[in-house]
Structure 1
Amino acid sequence: MNVLVWLAAILLILMLLIGGKKGARSFISLFLNFGVLLLTVLFMTDPNANPIILTLIACAVISCINLFYINEVNSKTITAFISTIITIGILLFFINIVAKNALIQGFGEEEVEELGVFSLYIGVDFAKIGASMIIMGTIGAITDVAISITSPMREIFNHNPLISRKDLFTSGLSIGKDILGTTTNTLFFAFCGGYLALLIWFKDLSYSVGEIVNSKLFSAEMISILYAGIGVALVIPIASWINAYFLVKTREKNKISNN
């Protein structure tokens, strides 16, 4: 417990020194997001609740916290929020299909021994739970990339107010290209770091490459990473187009009102 307190204190001090008030809000948002996730999990235990609907609501709330609470309500956060919701909506259709057909719901063989003393008949749809896990795994990366696109685009527009919508959109895509590779690699290495012990266990159990790839635990995490990567790739053109449209349209409205 002392280690957690000290690490949290160090994180808070660094965020205050570097980010100021925004750093303090970022630190508080960690606990707010944790509270949202905890409430979502509690509601998911109700057999009558739809896990996917609950997850979408949680993702919307998390996006609001990460965008509006930390960066306040402005054009870049509004367009980033809209882009995030649209991207999640597009992914949701495919996630629901893959989660059912890939049979990644429930627990893997490696977890059966630890769960043997518990009853698994708890009345919830594990296929929807699996889809919810994938959706929740994509929201952080998608929101991060969305604001990383809209924020510099706004700066470009402020420094060059006469820029055309096409050039502004192209600038957003150019920014996104630099983000795409690093973000997808970050997702992959996050998986490797979090599941390094599992990979070592697979080696000790003499799993073949085919058995590792077809393992439910491994497949579920890789599918989640791939969907997060797809979401990151999709949100770049979506955020670029919405932000370019919004900024140019606002400029045209201001011209009309001034005339």
Structure 2
Amino acid sequence: MNAIGLLSVILFTLMAFVGGRQGVRSFVALLLNLLAVILTVFFMLNTSINLLIITLIACVLISCINLFFINEINDKTIAAFLATIITVTILLLFIHLVTKYALIQGFSEEETDEISGYSLYIGIDFVKIVTSVIIMSTIGAIMDVAISISSSLHHLLRLNPLLNKKELFQSGLNIGRDILGTDANTIFFAFFGGYLGLLIWFKDLEYSFGEIVNSKVFSGEMMTIFCAGIGIALIIPISSWISTFILMRDKEKSTSNN
């Protein structure tokens, strides 16, 4: 058994031991997410399909796997799903415009030697590629915030059924504020850790601080972090509003039936 197989067994064992049936479903969802990403890349190679549409479909599929497959279909997951898709759609259009006018797509001058032997006429829009990469890097954090707020409001209303719409919505915002900073920093350190080699590369190239900040590859990564942070900030009010609407609607139906 190789290292990947061994780590997979250890991960499955721990998830099953700690999470029980839910942990097993989470592990299966992890494999399904891997399959979804591979299929997304496969369809991206088909240039006749708009890459943004493929990305949106992939986000819907990933959201269904992580929300409905793991936690089943209920008010909490429906609210989180709707909030996630709305946020991703808004973010998709915003990132596409930012990428287009910031000119961060494509290869940087530091990568010239590495790609000199390859043809750059591959028939794929690099603006849409960068947009897809940013969205796929952010979807996990967006879903995490959405389900956290939705689940918290669900339990909060059960504990205090006298809450009105305004109070429940404000509670969602307060919960979102508490997790906003930690999630934004999680994304920052995830990208920083993944691109630590980039900083070492700049050191070898003897770049000054100004050259590092203005380099295309560094600017692209920083814009990715900022766009991801914008998505996290955006999902908080959207998830709070949708969760409040669904929960209060169900509460009113239950009250009228009784």
- 2:134 is aligned with 1:134: yes
Aligned AA (1:19): G
**Aligned residues between the structures:** 258
When the two chains are superposed, the root-mean-square deviation of aligned CA atoms in Å is 1.2
Give the 4+ runs in structure 1 shifted more than 6 A.
none
Per the TM alignment, residue 26 of structure 1 is displaced from its structure 2 partner at its CA by: 0.9
CA-to-aligned-CA distance 1:86-111 (integer Å, 9 cap, x gap): 11122122111111111111122222
Shift of residue 143, structure 1, vs aligned partner = 0.6
Q: Following the alignment from structure 1 to structure 2, what is the Cα–Cα distance between the partners of residues 125 and 246?
A: 39
Cα deviation, residue 216, structure 1: 2.1
The within-5 A match list for 1:6-21 is 6-21=6-21
Q: Which moved more, 1:126-135 or 1:174-183?
A: 126-135
1:146 alignment counterpart:
146
Are residues 1:25 and 2:25 paired? yes
Shift, 1:250, TM fit:
0.8
**What is the deviation of 1:152?**
1.2
- 1:101 corresponding residue in structure 2: 101
Cα offset for 1:187? 0.5
SS in 1 for 2:91: helix
1:2-57 per-residue CA deviation (whole Å, 9 max, x = no partner) reads: 21111111111111111111111111111111111111111111221211110000
**DSSP 3-state at the match of 2:106:** coil
How far has the Cα of 1:132 moved from its partner?
1.3
Aligned to 1:173: 173
The residue type equivalent to 2:219 in the other structure is S
> CA offset at residue 162 of structure 1?
2.0
The C-alpha deviation readout for 1:52-73, integer Å capped at 9, x for no partner, is 1100000110011110011110
| 1:210 lines up with 2:210 in the alignment | yes
Alignment TM-score, normalising by the size of structure 2: 0.96
Residue aligned with 2:20, SS: helix
Q: What amino acid maps onto 1:104 in structure 2?
A: I
The aligned residue for residue 50 of structure 2 is 50
**CA displacement, residues 131-165 of structure 1 (integer Å, 9 cap, x when unaligned):** 11122122111011100111111111111122111
Residues 85-100 of structure 1: pairs in structure 2 closer than 5 A: 85-100=85-100
Q: Which residue type is aligned with residue 143 of structure 1?
A: M
Number of the residue aligned with 1:119 = 119
Note the residue ranges of structure 2 that are not aligned, 5 or more in a row: none
Alpha-carbon offset, residue 123 of structure 1? 0.9
Question: Partners in 1 of 2:17 and 2:90 — Cα distance?
Answer: 39
Task: Provide the C-alpha distance between the structure 2 equivalents of 1:214 and 1:71, rounded to a whole number of angstroms.
Answer: 44
TM-score (norm 1): 0.96
**Secondary structure of 2:80's aligned partner:** helix
> Which residue matches 2:61?
61
Determine the structure 1 residue equivalent to 2:81.
Answer: 81
* 1:238-257 to 2 correspondences below 5 Å: 238-257=238-257
